[in-house]
Structure 1
C-alpha cells in the first residue's frame, strides 16, 4: 500500500469533501498519534450519503475503505457496501469495531472500552470522596451508556466502592431502590450510585430515551 488517506469528520469527509480535505497519512504524520487524545481525523456525525460517497471514492481511486466506529458507523458501512456492489466497484470495505460503550454485536470487547472504564472508575472514586465527606452523603455518578450499561457496570466492579448500579438493560424498580438507599445509609452512613445514562427511562413522563 503506497497511498493512505485519512478521511476527516467521519462520512462528512467523503460526502462533503470540499469542506473536509483528506489527510495524507505518512510515517511522520502518525508517529506520535498514540500520545494524543481524540483523533487527528476528528469525529463526525451524519453526512452519510451512499451515492455521493461511492462517487467520491471512485473519483479518488480508493479501492479499500476502513470504517472505524460503533454500530451507526458499521450500519452505514453496510449500506455503502450495497451501493458499491450494485456498481460492481473494485472496493473492499473493512469494518473496525470501535465503541466506548462496547455495544457492537459479536465482539467481547471493542477498543476504546477499557479506556472509558478506567476514566469512569476515577470519576467514581471522586464521587466516593464527596459522599464520605458528608453525613448521609450520596454520590451519584452518571456515566455514558444510553442503551448499554457495560461502562457503568465494569467501572463499578473495577472501583469496588459502588453500592448501587443502574443500567438500561435492567428495569428500575423505584421502591426497591429507595429501600436499598435507606438501608445502605443506615448501615454505612454514605453510599455511591453509578447510573448509566439510559437507565430508568421507563420512569420519565414520555418513556422515550433522549
Structure 2
C-alpha cells in the first residue's frame, strides 16, 4: 500500500529553503512505488490542522526546477504555537490523510516541534515517521557544523561589506554601521570579516552578541579608526547586549517567541554623532540579506538539496525523530566537501549554537584567524567581482 509524504516549513525562510523542497520532490519521484502523493502543508502547521495541502508532485518540471532559484518558501511557513492538544490533532489529520512520512524544515523552534510531534506519534503507536531538515540563516542549530541558508547569508554580508567599504573609502567623511541579522548568535556578523578578496575592503570593527557590549570601548574603538583613516566601517549584530544581559536597545513589543527591538545600527550611529560629532549612518540589510537570490551560494544550494533528498531516504528507511546534519569533510584533493549524518532530534531541540570563544578576538571587536579558517573553505572567492581603487 502506498502512503503520502508531507513537507512542513516553519519559521523565517532562506534563499535555499526551496532547494531542500526541490530535493524532497525529486527524491520522492524516484520512490513512487511506495509514495502516493507529495504534499506541502500550506503556511506551516496551520495547513495540517486545516487539511490544506499543496500537491507538489503534479507541478511542472519547469516549476520544480525553478525552486532552486526561488527565495522565500513556495509552500508558506508560520510560527504557529502548539500545545499537547494541537499535536494530537495534527496526528489525527496525518492519519486521516494517509500521511506516513513527515519532513519538517526549520530552525531550533521547528526542530523542537519536530521532536514533540515524533514523541506523540510514538506514544500513540502510529507508523508515522518524522524527520527534521535544518534551515536557518543564523547558523545556530546545535551539533552540526553549519546549516543550509547560512552560507548564502554569509556571502551576502561579505559582498555588501565590500561594496559599502569601497563607497565609504571613496568619500571618507563618516562612520558607517552595518547592522547584521542574528539575534543571539553572531555567525552572520562574523562572516563580514572575510570581505577582503586580496584587497582592503573588510570592516574595521565587528561586534557580536556573544560578547558583552561596552559603549565606552566602542566609541574609543571607532575614534581610533576614524582618526587614522578618516572613516570607519563597523558591522554589528542586531542582538548586542550590555553587561546586565539586556539588549542595548529597548524592547518595543513581543509576540509569542518573537521579540521586536529598536535598530541597533541606528542606536550606534547616534552614539557616534553625539559623542564625537562625526557624521555617522546606519545600513540594515535585514530581509534583503536573506532573500537575495543573486547572491545565493552554489555550495549552500547543493547542500540544501542533499538535505531534502537524504531526509526522504531516511524516512523511507524507517528513521524517525532524527535530523539530517551537515559536517565538514575533505575530498581526495583536500578541498572542502560536506558529510551528512543523522542526528537525534533531542540534541538540537531549542538549543542554540553560538560562536565559540576562539572565533572572537580578545578585545571583542573582531573575529580571529580560527573563524576565517573555518568559513573560508566553504566560500567561492571567484564569486566576488574585483573592486579597484587608485586613491
Q: 1:13–1:22: 8 Å Cα contact kept in structure 2?
A: no
Q: Which residue in the other structure is 2:65 paired with?
A: 31
SS at match of 2:223: helix
SS at structure 2 position matched to 1:83 = helix
The one of the two structures with greater contact order (alpha-carbon pairs below 8 A, sep at least 6) is: 2
Q: Does 1:204 align with 2:236?
A: no
Alpha-carbon distance in structure 2 between the residues aligned to 1:47 and 1:25 = 29
Could you tell me which residue of structure 2 aligns to residue 77 of structure 1? 114
Which residue is equivalent to 1:176? Answer: 217
Structure 1: how far apart are the matches of 2:153 and 2:115?
Answer: 27
Instruction: Give the gaps of 5 or more residues in structure 1.
Output: none
Partner residue of 1:165?
206
| DSSP 3-state at the match of 2:130 | strand
When the two chains are superposed, the root-mean-square deviation of aligned CA atoms in Å is 2.2
CA contact under 8 A between 1:7 and 1:23: conserved in structure 2?
no
Matching of residues 92-131 of structure 1 within 5 Å? 92-131=129-168
C-alpha distance 174-203 of structure 1, shift in aligned 2 (>3 A): farther
The answer on whether the counterparts of 1:127 and 1:140 sit within 8 Å (CA) in structure 2 is no
User: Aligned-pair distance for 1:55?
Assistant: 1.1
Q: TM-score, normalised by structure 2?
A: 0.49
Once the two structures are overlaid, the 10-residue window that deviates more, 75-84 or 46-55, is: 46-55
> Alpha-carbon deviations, 1:85-132, whole Å to 9, x = none?
121110111111111100000111111101111112232234324433
- 1:6 pairs with one of 11, 22, 40: 40
Q: CA shift at 1:204, angstroms?
A: 3.4
Per-residue displacement from partner, 1:41-82 (whole Å, max 9, x unpaired)? 122221543122111111111111111110010001111111
What is the aligned partner in structure 1 of residue 101 from structure 2? 64
Deviations 1:12-59 (A, max 9, x none): 211233xx4333334635232112222211222215431221111111
- Cα gap change, 1:180/1:39 in structure 2, threshold over 3 Å: closer, same or farther? same
Contact 1:15 1:56 in 2 (8 A): yes
Q: Deviations over 1:137-174 (max 9, x none)?
A: 111111110011001101x1221311111111111122
State whether structure 2 residue 229 is matched by structure 1 residue 188: yes
Map of 2:18 onto structure 1: none
* Residues in 1 aligned to 2:99 and 2:249: alpha-carbon distance in whole angstroms: 49
TM-score, normalised to structure 1, is 0.89
Whole-Å separation in 1 of the counterparts to 2:184 and 2:206: 15
CA distance in 1, matches of 2:195, 2:182: 18
Structure 2: 5+ residue stretches without partners: 1-34, 197-201, 253-258, 261-391
